[in-house]
Amino acid sequence: MKELDRIKELVEQLNYASKVYYQGQDEVMSNYEYDRLYDELVSLEEKTGVVMANSPTVHVGYETISELPKEPHVAPMLSLAKTKEPNELVEWLGDQKGLLSLKLDGLSVILTYQNGKLVKALTRGNGEVGEVITNNAKTFQNIPAQISFEGNLVIRGEALIKYSDFEKLNQSFTDIQEKYKNPRNLCSGTVRQLNNQITAERNVYFYVYNLIEADTAEQSFTTKEEILRFLQSQGFDTVPYKAVAKNSVLSSVTEFSEEIVGGLDLPSDGLVLTYDDIEYSQSLGRTAKSPRDSIAFKWQDELAETTLLDLEWSASRTGLINPIAIFEPVELEGTTVSRASVHNLSILRELKLGIGDHITVYKANMIIPQIQENRTGSGRLSIPKFCPVCGEATEQVNENGSEFLFCLNPNCYAKKIKLFTHFVSRDALNIDGLSEATLEKFIAQGWLHDLSDIFHLSEHREEIEQMEGFGEKSYQNLVHALEEAKEVPLERVVYSLGIKGFGLSMAKLVCNTYPMRLTEMDRLTADELILIDGIGQKLAESFVTYFSSEEHKILVNKLEQILRISMPEKNDSEKLAGMTFVITGSLEHYANRNECKEEIERAGGKVSGTVSKKTNYLVNNDIQSSSSKNKKAKELGIPIITEQELLRMLN
């Protein structure tokens, strides 16, 4: 297990170093150190036979498909019987030993490995037939692309998006229709994407909790804990669990609930208790809907009664005005809570809220504050006809059956602040030192009218240095950050504009499909945009409307003159098209393997982490090496070429 832990540690370190390096930030390690750690990772992968899907030694190609094919499961995906009473768990377990695990709140996925390779991934579907998501599963953050077990292995687990990633992603979605209520819904939409690059960008994790098939290996297991340990030895993350007996079930339930309240990053809606003994479990059989060897325990949400004090209307840069309930503070799951989002006008009306009403509140999945019930139901709250920020008229809009409130004023102060905040955010221009509070001060001074004014802040040096919280050093840091931000890829500029419905992934799709100058994007038609998989009529019209505006044409012209915008790279050469390479050993011409890999990919080739029948060339400056990759290449008759020979092929 220590070797597998080291593999995961190296993957995380190397991926972080590459990310920092390719984003143009300060390097976190030297090329020598990177290569040393990379070689250690390769050695451990060869020794254990485990290669993580996100390992830098693996290249996962992005692919867009027209639809998700369907396929029957090897065994029915049953649902579990449920209880909300902890004492029922004690009675159910009896004198047997059990495993109590987190019931993760994501999407059930079944993975199939053959000869050590991931060959198939299916969603739960209707329990009998699932959707094939193999391409997407290969981009999950923590699953092995290769394992040491060479037989047929079928496992079931939960794909999920962690709370921390959910918050960041949901904030990056600019359109109402893109926002998700919880991590489970976001994960479901992500795992079933037709473009697996989108899946890769959303940090999906997989936790295994059950073995379905394992050729003859399963005959050697007598307990389910042995199965989980076996799967851990293959490089999988297993669902967090505790071994329990009759006298320890209740204390373990309490321990899990404390971990959830303490900020566990995994979305969970309860626990699962299963008998540990495999033979005993199999003897119990199943009902038409559920297996008899497991039972689900749903969190009993802690409720608190309180009084509604106010309803705050929060405006965003898209004009959406969200209702937020303010109530007398109450203690829930160990923290003090006084606010809860009401989400939209439809929910507001359903709850019949009014100031002074007695309401019950809880934390959904013990994390997110929600209103459960309004016991008064006065319905005295009126929906504002004017924006709480700018005072201009509002409009009620029906989208997908839900009512939302919008501010119609294009020059609303709240829109301006949120738009500038979005413009300088990490995934956009990434300008350090410009918080929302700082931007508010600059806007109040009358220095910021359109987005391009950000880059003229140096004209106000004296005033900025005298502002509270600023000084000469802070000013110099800001000027440096503004200068660095001018070097930016096209897709991040498009994303930074705040076009309704266009997150970073959508901006990338457009820029990769139609690489053109920012000032030329007004030529794109809705019909051309709809040809891009993932963009529908509404998004296409949103894009066209933005760039056809005279105000926005002036803005993008200013930005193009200020910024040094890099275009998406194209394959200028297809010299290596259809060829697959594996790179091993130390390099002399290239700084590291990533640099060599990028060169091959620019020429149309592919780079794999392992030698197989599909490999065309193994790149190794030490042709006489006795490494496992050299041996494998010789066995399969695959040419071993030096770096110089690769350069001749490229040039």
User: So which residues are the catalytic ones?
Assistant: 103
Residue 55 region by backbone torsions, left for phi larger than 0, else alpha for psi between -120 and 50, else beta: beta
Could you give the 3-state DSSP secondary structure of residue 565? strand
Tally of CB atoms within 10 A around 307 = 13
User: What does the DSSP 8-state code read for residue 642?
Assistant: -
- List alpha helices for 286-375, DSSP H: 345-351
Greatest Cα-to-Cα distance within the chain, rounded to the nearest angstrom = 84
347 and 321 in contact (C-beta within 8 Å)? no
Per residue, what are the HEC states of 60-124?
A: CCCCECCCCCEEECCCCCCCCEEECCHHHHHHHHCCCCEEEEEEECCEEEEEEEECCEEEEEEEC
State the Cα–Cα distance between residues 363 and 301, nearest whole angstrom: 7
Q: What is the dihedral of CA 137, 139, 140, 145, to 10 degrees?
A: 80
- C-alpha–C-alpha distance, residues 273 and 288, integer Å: 20
Question: 523: exposed, middle or buried (C-beta count within 10 Å: 0-12, 13-18, 19+)?
Answer: exposed
Residue in the block written with tokens 């738009």: 419
Q: Is the separation of the CB atoms in 10 and 41 below 8 Å?
A: yes
The token pair at 640 is: 């071993």
Helix and strand numbers, DSSP H then E, in the chain: 23, 26
Residue matched to tokens 């690489």:
515
Structure tokens at 550: 């005279």
Distance, CA of 199 to CA of 505 (rounded, Å): 10
Length of the chain equals: 651
Q: Determine the Cα–Cα distance for residues 21 and 520; give it in Å rounded to an integer.
A: 31
Q: CA neighbours within 13 Å on the CB side: how many for 568? A: 17
What are the backbone dihedrals phi and psi of residue 641, each rounded to the nearest 5 degrees, phi first?
A: -120, 155
List of residues 6+ apart from 358 with CB closer than 8 A: 305, 306, 307, 308, 374, 375, 376
Residue 22 tokens, joined: 């390719």
Spell out where 184-319 has E strands: 205-213, 241-244, 268-275, 294-298, 304-315
**Helix-strand-coil percent breakdown of the chain, rounded to 5?**
40, 25, 40
The burial of 612, by beta-carbon neighbours within 10 Å (0-12 exposed, 13-18 middle, 19 or more buried), is given as middle
Both structure tokens of 23: 């984003």
Give 326's strand partners.
310, 339
Distance set, CA 262 to CA 99, 256, 313, 334, 386 (Å): 22, 10, 30, 8, 41
Task: Mark 82-113 as b/e (b = at least 16 C-beta within 10 Å).
Answer: ebeebeebbebbeebbbbbbbbbbbbbbbbbb
- CA-based torsion, 441, 442, 446, 452: positive or negative: negative
Tokens (6 digits) for 439: 């931007």
